[in-house]
Chains A and B, each alone.
Chain A
């Protein structure tokens, strides 16, 4: 009987959601950064999650057990830069255009809420498991 795997799983989930929140914060912060050329525009970042199955424990065949979350990569989502006519902007080119990243703020906000909720689920699991293990430790005290 081991609680280690559960702690690992909940921890990996919270870690993955933190990475996700990190990308959301970065995307929202750079939503209004202008660039002189479309190539230089900030690109929205998105994490890629994958599951890693727990095995290799003693007395337990492979495949029986939970799965951790792994952040495989943080990729840049390929959306076209938006061109805006702002002649007063110091970055504007000869025709008066600057380029902005096409970041959907509503999408980022919903992503943020979903990530927060998943993180809280991880905290809840940890608390629950902690009380289960503490109960088990107190078993002898009758």
Chain B
């Protein structure tokens, strides 16, 4: 039986990449909290993951993600749609999910190493 690295790592590598892109978008939302007219954006993580899973080599790049605009709970008069608490919560959750994927990957590698060493 051969071990296929791609199958073992599975979805987590792409998830990490997407999480990084999302943290960039959310960091930009947080940075532009005081910029008049700035619209908060985000990407729909689950639909982007599905797109990456079924896509071929050309349509499955993380960089082709679709960005969507956040609907603010209460719009500001200066046209800025960033709500600090919402963005901070999303950013923290995204970072935690990143760590989760990382932990899964580490466990996969540990399993592989044990299999290779025959323990």
- Cβ contact within 8 Å between A132 and B23: yes
A-B CB proximity, top 3 nearest: A66-B28, A13-B31, A60-B63
Determine whether A67 belongs to the interface, using a CB cutoff of 8 Å to chain B: yes
**Number of A residues, CB within 8 Å of B:** 43
- Cβ contact within 8 Å between B64 and A61: yes
A90, B92: Cα distance in complex, Å: 57
A interface list, Cβ under 8 A from B: 1-3, 5-6, 9-10, 12-13, 16-17, 20, 49-51, 54, 59-61, 63-69, 114-115, 117-118, 121-122, 124-125, 128-129, 131-132, 135-136, 139-140, 142
Q: A118-B34, A121-B84, A140-B109 are in contact. Are A66 and B95 (CB under 8 A)?
A: no
- Cβ contact within 8 Å between B16 and A136: yes
Task: From B31, B36, B98, B102, give the contact of A66 (CB < 8 A).
Answer: B31
A138, B64: Cα distance in complex, Å: 28
B40 CB to nearest A CB, Å: 10
Task: From B31, B64, B91, B92, give the contact of A67 (CB < 8 A).
Answer: B31
Chain A binding surface SS class: helix
Q: Tally of A-B residue pairs with Cβ under 8 A?
A: 113
B interface list, Cβ under 8 A from A: 16-17, 20-21, 23-25, 27-36, 38, 61-65, 67, 84, 88, 91-92, 95, 98-99, 102, 105-106, 109-110, 113
B84 contacts across to A, CB distance below 8 A: 117, 121
- Cβ contact within 8 Å between B67 and A64: yes
The residue in B27, B62, B102 that gathers the most chain A C-beta atoms within 10 A of its C-beta is B27
